[in-house]
Amino acid sequence: MELKALQTTLAKPASFEGIGLHTGNKSKIVFKPAPINTGIKFVRVDLKDPVEIPALVTNVKDISRGTTIGIGDVKIHTVEHILAAITGMGLDNVIIEVDSNEPPVADGSALPFFNVLKEAGINIQGEPREYFELTEPVHICHNDMYIVVIPDNEFKISFTVSYNHPLLGSQYESFVINKEVFEREIASSRTFCFENEVETLKAQGLIKGGSLNNAVVIGQNKILNDKLRYPDEFVRHKMLDLIGDLTLLGKPLKAHIIGIKTGHALNIKLSQKLYNMQQRPKRTGMKVTRNVVVGKQLDVVAIQQIIPHRYPFLLVDRIIDMEEDKRAVGIKNVSVNEPFFAGHFPGHPIMPGVLIVEAMAQVAGVLMLGKEENLGKIAYFMSIDKVKLRKPVLPGDQLILEVEMLKIKSRTGMVAGKAYVGDQLVTEAEFKFAVIDA
């Protein structure tokens, strides 16, 4: 039996004081223990009525040289270093009280926060930790910046930065992230900027609290600080920022993250994409059955005993979830060997939209015809409405076909269908059909 990791919180409160990097405001943060399933929450205690801001990507308000979260008009700037320290410590449930709109920058790294959390100690709680685990690769890119996320049984980051600057060039590091590695290899890496950016940032109202005491400044021919903490401190700090931004998923991640030249903007887009994926119904844990009696999962043999479609027009490979008279979810693995790709289009294969709609309709057919009273009958299209083809479906894609019964009678039904590739909606439609004798 696999032993599951338990949730954790602090053994006692811990605090830290200083000034904010961008606002320059004096502030104090107090880390406090929190109950099971609380997650990570900031609380603005300087307000007449304190405002609680969960550390979730849905609350991100700005990504200008840092990550800002908020509720309504109440914001907290530059939270990524604190979040990275919490994740680095392996903490699940923490309340962070802040008496200003930006926590202290400390020395520009996560190490001071990590140290006060480490001194406070960890309390293990009696509830299993829930991880975010992928079942398929995910990627996101913009220009020459990329993040690829690969399923894994631990949290690993491989990161590359590349700058057209004689002192930096390209840097690469790869680590499995745990408490010891975070403390030794990542926590003390500091935020940085180029000397020629300083005046522009000041003009934008940023770095009011910045100095050589809390940031590495890179000049044209030298580093303005006395020395670097690591020869490749810059790529390590990019990893630190990524850890902080991914903490906004709301649960620890098991995956291998491969990042190339990314910053907060792409980090947050990735977090948003992953967060949206975890909000959708889980499609794991399938059990193959060859039983015609409708259950929650059906393989292709069982499907062929319910609907009459056969090659080359059977467009459902598996039913992975089903709730009688309500909804069904099917899978279509789109192979390059599909016969329609030969003519649609030569040299540029795209699955015809009408066949995606047909695949959704076949899932609906399984839902309707799998009922005992409908076995052996046929479902005919009556009408198709509200069709939207949002993204092309290509060889190698896996279609997730979700249908929901809007109306149902003994002989007719109305269904809403949506087709996804990963978490991307590619096609949707509504259709009516009639059930008739074969």
Cis peptide before 345 (omega within 30 of 0): yes
Q: Quick check: is 264 catalytic?
A: yes
Answer yes or no: are the C-beta atoms of 363 and 329 closer than 8 Å: yes
Which phi-psi region, left, alpha or beta, contains residue 430 (left: φ > 0; alpha: ψ -120 to 50)?
Answer: beta
Radius of gyration of the CA atoms of the chain, in A: 26
CA pair distance 253, 155, nearest whole angstrom? 6
CA pair distance 56, 254, nearest whole angstrom? 17
Extract the tokens encoding 361.
């309709």
Q: How far is CA 348 from the centre of its chain?
A: 30
CA pair distance 128, 36, nearest whole angstrom? 9
Q: Name residue, tokens 């979260």.
A: 69
CA pair distance 400, 383, nearest whole angstrom? 22
Q: Quick check: is 165 catalytic?
A: no
Answer yes or no: are the C-beta atoms of 261 and 145 closer than 8 Å: yes
User: Which listed residue (81, 309, 344, 348) is catalytic?
Assistant: 344
Q: Which amino acid appears at position 107 of this protein?
A: D
Query: If you ran DSSP here, which 8-state letter would residue 281 be given?
Result: P
Extract the tokens encoding 407.
């109306």
CA pair distance 294, 291, nearest whole angstrom? 8
Answer yes or no: are the C-beta atoms of 413 and 395 closer than 8 Å: no
Alpha-carbon distances of 389 from 189, 373, 401, 424, 426, rounded to whole Å = 46, 34, 14, 12, 6
Extract the tokens encoding 396.
């190698």
CA pair distance 437, 347, nearest whole angstrom? 42
Answer yes or no: are the C-beta atoms of 24 and 209 closer than 8 Å: yes
Answer yes or no: are the C-beta atoms of 243 and 157 closer than 8 Å: yes
Closest of 438, 436, 339, 341 to residue 392, by C-alpha: 341
Other residues' Cβ atoms within 10 Å of the Cβ of residue 432: 16
Query: If you ran DSSP here, which 8-state letter would residue 143 be given?
Result: T
User: Which listed residue (22, 139, 264, 309) is catalytic?
Assistant: 264
Residues annotated catalytic, as ranges? 264, 344
